[in-house]
Chains A and B, each alone.
Chain A
């Protein structure tokens, strides 16, 4: 046996191992009409996130599918699993329409690279994961495939090492991934009927034109047919008419891929201001649902009366009418209702104007302003001091919520609406969510229905004598009750101060508390005999209030410079701030996700948090099931969170979402119980 022969054998053996091991580990596969392989770095830099490609080489005349496969077919399904590594949702390159017989498919021919962002989580020796892949490759007939691909790469302490050809492939593929910015195009709804969807496209950027004419592809095949739209246009604007499949209704949001040459953008279809999906309200089904939405809003309004924020104000109102004549009482009730309705109308109108101006806002938006919060703090403080008898308004001036007086009743109505905002009760979520997407008239209708609900019990008691007779007789106890009611009001003040503190940081807390002190002092001084002291008291009160409001922007500015985090809301173990990408990653890895949409000014949210979500037991359940806990804090305006809520037809908090391992989101009720959370995990077995 010559040495040469041994050498040759060794070379052959090492070649065998070098080339065949990856095949044994199924890093690439050959299947009928497709070859599938990874495009990945050779060595992985520690801690670096890399774009990894999954390449399909497809036989001529055969094709695979885009996320919206068109009339037939199915997109590839990617199911990743692996320890200590996070893989993003797939990024789909620009596809094209492929006519197959009488049908239109949307997909890819020849070759395509799907991209994934892969981030190793902890320092380990290798990046390892597994992909359960399912695909469908078609010519006219179709062949499905299911395979398991693995990827394993050593981690090095330097930068990731790519082969030149692989790096080039990834860079080329990355150029075919659609952009997600909304600053390039203006895509607006013109009309939607049962059969067709008409949209207009304009270009926003100076450096682009409408030539060549962009093509539009619907992202969601459930609602829009894949056939090329009819295109008409003139300079500056192009109109596309899509045919719609019958009977599918209207999605929350139409999304399109705008393709121009080698570039593409994923784009939401904006609803024209006021017009909205007007066509969709015409169908009998939708009209019925509008009626039920109005009904929900009404019921929701009635329930609001029982909420802790409204009850004290309303109780005082009830007290004030105990001593009045029937006519007066009825007049009061109607004025109160008018106050409620006017405020709801004003809120609704403001909401619609802001919406048409493109602002992403939702219910409770008025409480996202620290000015309003401060106003409410002072108002509740004044009311509670008044209830306690620290000061009395003169005969000529009205007690804000108390005395029977026309102006007073109207004001109580306004007040009731303002204090009701933090209490999104049962039934309201759905109705308000719908209001955010409905055209102007029905949206206002929903706001007014809420108002009718809120005003209803008071009006009924005032107008129905038998009910009125059930009310207790007036007497000295009224004064005691009034004093007692100051305490829930002070409670409200404490809570609002807390909200204010979260909005402005600890300085906000100091600011509001100082204002309360000075205001109380001023009101006490007013009782003095000396005119000079009285005048000083009035000046002090005015100066206090003014300086409070003037201080807000300064504190805000200071806070944004300091990047002060919302310490009090971002909570103990486990909860992380809302991040859509993290949710997608976790779901891609088969991890369950729980999202708590909350706000400091939302009482229901805080109750659920303290009584259920942040209890040790529940946190343990979450921990045992490795649930990603995410808290979307809407205390301040946040377009991202507003958009996330809109995805689920909501625009108010609380909303609780649960994504069971890889499954679709499930919306939990607005009042949570511990059992409810337990059941999320028990029923699976």
Chain B
């Protein structure tokens, strides 16, 4: 019985996070973007949607923006009709927080080709999706089902040099999904900086 005494030490608060789970419907949201427009997931029914968690100061985000990898993906897939939403869930006072005006400037300076930059300083969208890191990536099919959730690629190095040799899971999911082929990898462990929610 003495064992039980110790148990309380170990029972951690396992907060049940709502999550965007591959194979299930993506959580609905309605939130403002940097350009002042309101975006709803339902606006994009019938289209492929990519959700990319973004934090301008995170080294792993810089890995993919500094190398123009992310902008390249955004350009390629928005060109094919994909809706690409960068989501900033950094709370006010935390790393990477931007107000609407600054977000527009940052996006412009970074030459972002995202459809929109969603502002989520309250973390409502981030927590609904279970975004743990930046960049945490989600791919949603035209029926609104999550078909991929996880890392952007298979190399969690912060060194941009590895990008050329990495397997990009988001591109693979979009390429396969848009051709009605089976998506090989639907869930991976995301890597990067923790998403900077309010405490």
Contacts and interface: CB of A to CB of B under 8 A. Distances in A.
Interface of A: 69, 71-74, 77, 100-103, 105, 134, 136, 138, 140-144, 146, 210-213, 215, 221-222, 227-235, 238, 243, 245-248
Interface SS of B by simple majority: loop
Given A71-B133, A74-B158, A243 B14 contact: yes
Contacts of B60: 142, 144
A72 B58 CA distance: 12
Contact of B194 (A140, A144, A211, A212): A140
Given A72-B194, A246-B22, A247-B23, A228 B10 contact: yes
Interface in B126-155: 132-133, 149
Interface string B1-18: 111101101111011000
Nearest to B10: A231
Nearest to A77: B157
Interface string B35-60: 00000000000000000000001111
B121 interface: no
Given A72-B133, A134-B157, A246 B3 contact: no
A243 B17 CA distance: 11
A101 B188 CA distance: 22
B177 interface: no
Given A222-B188, A246-B21, A212 B196 contact: no
Nearest to A241: B14
A144 B3 contact: no
Given A134-B158, A221-B189, 19 more contacts: A72-B133, A72-B190, A73-B191, A77-B157, A101-B197, A102-B197, A103-B195, A134-B159, A142-B58, A142-B193, A144-B60, A213-B6, A213-B7, A215-B10, A230-B10, A233-B3, A245-B189, A246-B19, A247-B21
B199 interface: yes
Given A140-B95, A213-B6, A248 B187 contact: yes
The 9 closest A-B pairs by CB, nearest first: A247-B187, A144-B158, A228-B12, A246-B21, A231-B10, A247-B22, A72-B194, A213-B6, A141-B95
B70 to A, nearest CB: 17
Contact of B193 (A138, A213, A228, A230): A138
B112 interface: no
B95 A211 contact: no
A105 B3 CA distance: 27
26 contacts: A71-B132, A71-B194, A73-B193, A74-B157, A100-B194, A101-B196, A134-B157, A136-B158, A140-B95, A140-B194, A142-B58, A142-B59, A144-B60, A210-B3, A211-B2, A213-B3, A213-B6, A228-B10, A228-B11, A228-B12, A229-B10, A230-B14, A234-B3, A243-B14, A245-B189, A246-B149
B58 to A, nearest CB: 7
Interface string B91-114: 000110000000000000000000
B74 interface: no
Nearest to A100: B194
Contacts of B159: 134, 144, 146
Nearest to B22: A247
Given A74-B191, A231-B7, A246-B22, A140 B196 contact: yes
A227 B14 CA distance: 7
A227 B12 contact: yes
A228 B12 CA distance: 6
Nearest to B188: A222
Nearest to B12: A228
B3 A211 contact: yes
Given A140-B95, A227-B12, A247-B186, A235 B1 contact: yes
Interface string B169-199: 0000000000000000011111111111101
A444 to B, nearest CB: 29
Contacts of A235: 1, 3
Nearest to A144: B158
A142 B14 CA distance: 25
B168 interface: no
B115 interface: no
B134 to A, nearest CB: 9
Contacts of A141: 57-58, 95, 193, 196
A140 B156 CA distance: 18
Given A102-B197, A138-B193, A144-B158, A233 B95 contact: no
Contacts of B189: 221-222, 245, 248
Contacts of B191: 69, 72-74
Contacts of A100: 194
Contact of B10 (A213, A243, A246): A213
Contact of B192 (A72, A232, A233): A72
Contacts of A247: 21-23, 149, 186-187
Given A213-B7, A233-B7, A144 B59 contact: yes
Pick the most buried of B149, B156, B189, B199: most chain A CB atoms within 10 A of its CB: B189
B11 A230 contact: yes
Nearest to A68: B189
A228 B13 CA distance: 8
Given A100-B194, A142-B193, A213-B3, A245 B133 contact: no
Contacts of B190: 72
A195 to B, nearest CB: 10
A212 B6 contact: yes
A185 to B, nearest CB: 15
A584 B31 CA distance: 50
A617 to B, nearest CB: 29
A476 to B, nearest CB: 57
Pick the most buried of B14, B58, B60, B94: most chain A CB atoms within 10 A of its CB: B14
A245 B151 CA distance: 13
A433 to B, nearest CB: 20
Contacts of A213: 3, 6-7, 9-10
A527 B9 CA distance: 84
Contacts of B186: 247
A69 B23 CA distance: 26
Contacts of B194: 71-73, 100-103, 105, 138, 140
Contacts of B10: 213, 215, 228-231
A77 B155 CA distance: 11
A234 B1 CA distance: 6
A238 B2 CA distance: 12
A248 B190 CA distance: 12
B193 A72 contact: yes
B59 A143 contact: yes
B179 to A, nearest CB: 20
Contacts of B132: 71-72, 103
Contacts of A248: 187-189
A669 B3 CA distance: 52
B185 to A, nearest CB: 10
Contacts of A221: 189
A271 B49 CA distance: 40
A175 B59 CA distance: 34
A100 B195 CA distance: 10
B38 to A, nearest CB: 26
Pick the most buried of B19, B57, B194: most chain A CB atoms within 10 A of its CB: B194
Contacts of A142: 58-60, 193
Contacts of B188: 222, 248
B101 to A, nearest CB: 23
A638 to B, nearest CB: 33
A74 B149 contact: no
